[in-house]
Amino acid sequence: MNGLKLPVGVDSFEKIRCDGYYYVDKTGIISTLLSSGNEVTLFTRPRRFGKTLTMRMLQSFFEAGRDRSLFDGLEVASDSKLCEAHQGKYPVVFLTLKDVDGMSFESAMRSFAVTIRYEAQRIFEQIGADDVPDYLQESFKRLVYGKADQNDLSDSLRLLSGVLFSFYQRKVILLIDEYDVPLDKAFNQGYYDEMVSFMRGFFGQALKSNEFLQQAVLTGCLRISKESIFTGLNNFYVDSIVENRFNEYFGFTDEEVRAMLACYGVESRYELVREWYDGYRFGQLDVYCPWDVINYVSSLRWDADALPQPYWINTSGNALVRRFIDKADKTTRDEIERLIAGEAIEKAVSLNLTYSELDSSIENLWSVLFTTGYLTSAGRGENGAIRLVIPNREVTEIFVQQIQAWFKERFVHDEQPMRELCRGFLTGDSEAVQQRLNVILSRMISVLDTKARTGSKESFYHGLLLGLLRSETEWLILSNAESGDGFCDIIVEPDDLDKGIVIEVKYADSMDKLEKACAAALQQIEARRYDERLRNEGRTEIMAFGVAFCRKRCRVMCRGL
């Protein structure tokens, strides 16, 4: 077994290089970044694609006083001229905004102040109080000791840059990680406009009015530009998921994944890894989600039979997908079904949305799903629209889970229709059951893979019926219960002790076969004596139902036993 540890949840470049962790070399970004000539660069990528580790790596390279040997053997070290000119030559301000949160704007500002204080204290430890110019002393101390007001916080990055410039006599590298998280939190908690106003001043003074700035790099999930947060900035470059210049530096390439699997002797799992975690397209390059690959290879180190897990799903509530499904009309629900079946949907995608525009139209949500990694590009259509697809099996699972949760709230918890459906089963009214099921099927989003084998399709509809019947909380619902000469799909023991319900589910591959499938289901119930369990409990009024499905239609037959 390879001795290198896998950096699950480790985003410290220094720790990875010093403590024996596996590192996928992304230092080539330094040369590309320096040669770009952009004073301010914003990288927008989905979460868990290595943004924070890349920013920490940049800090370790540029910051004065850092250990130069951290880069020995890495790509950037082969460019001796670049390293001589830039490695360890700059003061650096590093700020991550991922923890800025609060139920109100005031509490978010307190959280913001703590984040700024930590960086101010780190800088204070570098240079000491005596080397801060007199005209900056008072403001700097307010940041260090947590006494800053909102005006101090707004000017904090420019102030810290000035303090460092005064000490090092070199302009500052400014690194801001997860710049858009405070806006996301503010949008969800209802103080969005206040946060936008603050961030506009914060970034304006740091990036536009900062005479001490050498170069700035920002990362985030969304490009926020219409709010004019970055208004007036010259030489401002945004590298999004549709660009090619930096596409290989976020996410793992196929070659990098193969190398990692080989390093740990699990090459045989390559196809599974590709099915679950590949499929993201940045520019013209296909990449894997690093978080997923690292977690799965780590699992395989200790369990050779470990199966892939939805690691990326579990790092977020995935509320964005749920928001999308909640807003979906019938046309959009059909498009979601096509996506889950592996098809592409053509959409005109905007990369310049604001959070406040998310709910203004379903088209905006398509765009955000694309920029945040829930959908990816499969090329462009004839009219220039992007052909959107679900990238891999893991993200398909996200959609399926959220659709199932939506279904339970939308239908199962709707008391009147569910009461009518259950009454139909209880009284043997097959027409009522059929009518109610067809209404539900017409309105729901199917998560059935149309390419699945028939048994899998029957299991899907079996599960659908179970969920609906369980809306009657006083009924005992048994699935695949042993009775008579086999296992019945569904047996229901109502609270009326004389009555019982037996249901057999079938799938028909065409509409004209529904009635025949229903008859076969009823014949199976009788031939295998599925009512025996109910009769042994003294239930004498037993209704047998054959329920056959074909896509979004069903046929129901019933007879007394």
User: Mean pLDDT across the stretch 464-478?
Assistant: 90
Q: Please, what's the largest Cα pairwise distance for the chain? A: 95
Closest-CA residue to 325 (of 336, 316, 315): 336
Mean pLDDT of the chain: 90
Q: Rounded to an integer, what is the distance from CA 212 to the centroid of its chain?
A: 37
User: 106: Cβ–Cβ under 8 A, 6 or more apart, which residues?
Assistant: none
Query: How does pLDDT run across 261-285, given as a tens digit for each residue?
Result: 999 999 999 999 999 999 999 999 9
User: Mean pLDDT across the stretch 60-66?
Assistant: 96
Read off the DSSP letter of residue 483: E
- CA distances to 32, 62, 279 from 246, rounded to whole Å, are 8, 19, 18
pTM of the model: 0.84
Q: What is the helix (H) or strand (E) element at residue 486, kind and residue range?
A: strand 486-493
- DSSP state letters, 407-458: HIIIIIT-HHHHHHHHHHHHHT-HHHHHHHHHHHHHHS-----TTS-HHHHH
Residues forming beta bridges with residue 14, ordered by sequence position: none
Cβ atoms of residues 542 and 557 within 8 Å: no
- Give the C-alpha separation, 451 to 518, whole Å: 22
Q: What is the pLDDT of residue 448?
A: 57
Q: Read off the amino acid at residue 367.
A: S
pLDDT higher than 90, residue 233: no
pLDDT higher than 60, residue 449: no
Cβ atoms of residues 446 and 494 within 8 Å: no
Q: What is the pLDDT of residue 450?
A: 47
User: Mean pLDDT across the stretch 361-377?
Assistant: 89
Closest-CA residue to 181 (of 142, 214, 221, 208): 221
Closest-CA residue to 533 (of 459, 480, 470, 496): 480
* Neighbouring C-alpha atoms within 13 Å toward the C-beta of 446: 19
**Pairing status of strand 541-550 against strand 376-380:** unpaired
- Give the C-alpha separation, 187 to 185, whole Å: 5
Determine phi and psi for 489, rounding to 5 degrees.
Answer: -55, -55
Composition of the chain by helix, strand, coil, percent to 5: 50, 15, 35
Q: How many residues does the chain have?
A: 561
Ordered structural domains, the chain, with CATH: 25-248 (3.40.50), 252-312 (no CATH), 317-399 (no CATH), 414-560 (3.40.1350)
User: Mean pLDDT across the stretch 519-530?
Assistant: 95
Query: How does pLDDT run across 19-35, given as a tens digit for each residue?
Result: 999 999 999 999 999 99
* Neighbouring C-alpha atoms within 13 Å toward the C-beta of 522: 19
